Amino acid sequence: MNSRGSGVLEGVRVLELGQVLAGPFAGAILADLGAEVVKLERVEGGDDARRMGPEFRHGDALNFQVFNRGKQSVAIDLKTDAGKAAFEQLAAEADIFIHNLRPGVPQALGIDGPSVCERHPRLIYCEISAFGHLGPMAPRPGYEPLIQAFSGLSSTNGGPDDPPMRAGSSICDQGTGMWVVIGALAMLQRRAATGRGGLLQTSLLETALVWNGQKADAFTNQGYLPARHRSGHPGFVPYEAFETADGPLLICCGNDRLFAKLATEMGRADWLQDERFATNRGRLANKTALFEQLEPLLASTPRAAWLARFESAGVPCAPVHTVPEALAHPHVQALGMLAPVPEEGFSLTALPLSIDGSRPALTTAAPRLGAHNQAHGLPVFKL
């Protein structure tokens, strides 16, 4: 392996045996931060994400580009002696190994955590599963919507009369990839002091339970679940989206001072003298009564007018944008979140952080299957 040349993780070597999303997303984060990431793929077909949607570039789907930019691709057959030897060679050179193989597959291939860590004691071995490494369901595979349903996360989405629904983004897959990066970097710090790598295990289910932790902790400690709100909050009123004359507007009054500004700006200073509405606890208990007066007022005026008035008064608010509207907004454009992929003529969403004032740039597009076998001294397969 050779260093890829720039970034805060320059010199860190990552071996990724990832499929579709959680493992590849962890690898993409590390690649964007400057690590050299070698993606191991099956000789026949490679990562299933290459076909996860219509062809976008070089026969591969856009999703594959999103989660595999900046990596190298090595195609090997781990069921052969040559493939196993190639894995050991690459693992010996790596600092971090990431996989999200189905439970049981690493053991069958001889690359399970305990055995690999014994052969490569400095390696940080990161294992992603669906349901976790403990418990009766540990052997089961799983996918994003299944985990959202099983964890209870789907049951907390939407409003009180809505059926359970999944979140629009793959928050369990991508969140698990983030936990892998956090854990791996923490273990790198430990290795710097001890010289010892180790085994990191996480799962989509554990991530889902953490994302739902606020509601789960309320049930565990207080015996009830917060009410479901499409866009609102169980602890503040008003704190959700409302229809204006021409589009939805989200208003967040997180304390009584902000509500006072809202009431004044809407010409309803009388709300501040009404014991039902003057305090947040009063508004929580009398939400329906307040909204019967608030909603017709908001619906009588265009959104832009309310935005101008509320922003001037210091009332936290935002238009509920579509994705194209959000991308076109001058502030989003100023952040520079869409980064060009060099020499490819398209852009992808970059990492949501800046280091020393600069957002990590995208270095290369996702690799073609097996494009880097020769660079690592491995046989080049006819793909």
Q: Which residues are catalytic?
A: 233
Tokens of 83: 């493939």
Count CA within 13 A, CB hemisphere, residue 84.
Answer: 11
Candidates 33, 45, 44, 41; CA nearest to 5 is 33
Tokens of 170: 């793959």
265 φ/ψ angles, rounded to the nearest 5 degrees: -65, -30
242 φ/ψ angles, rounded to the nearest 5 degrees: -130, 150
349: three-class secondary structure by DSSP: strand
Q: Which residue has the tokens 């781990």?
A: 78
Candidates 212, 228, 178; CA nearest to 23 is 178
What is the number of other CB atoms lying within 10 angstroms of the CB of residue 26? 32
63 φ/ψ angles, rounded to the nearest 5 degrees: -55, -35
Give the integer Cα–Cα distance in Å for 29 and 14. 11
98 φ/ψ angles, rounded to the nearest 5 degrees: -125, 135
User: CA-CA distances (angstroms) from residue 115 to 121, 132, 358?
Assistant: 10, 19, 40
Q: What is the CA radius of gyration of the chain?
A: 25
Tokens of 55: 């062809």
**Amino acid identity for residue 201 in this structure:** Q
240 touches 294 (CB < 8 A): no
Is the bond preceding 164 in cis, omega lying within 30 degrees of 0?
Answer: no
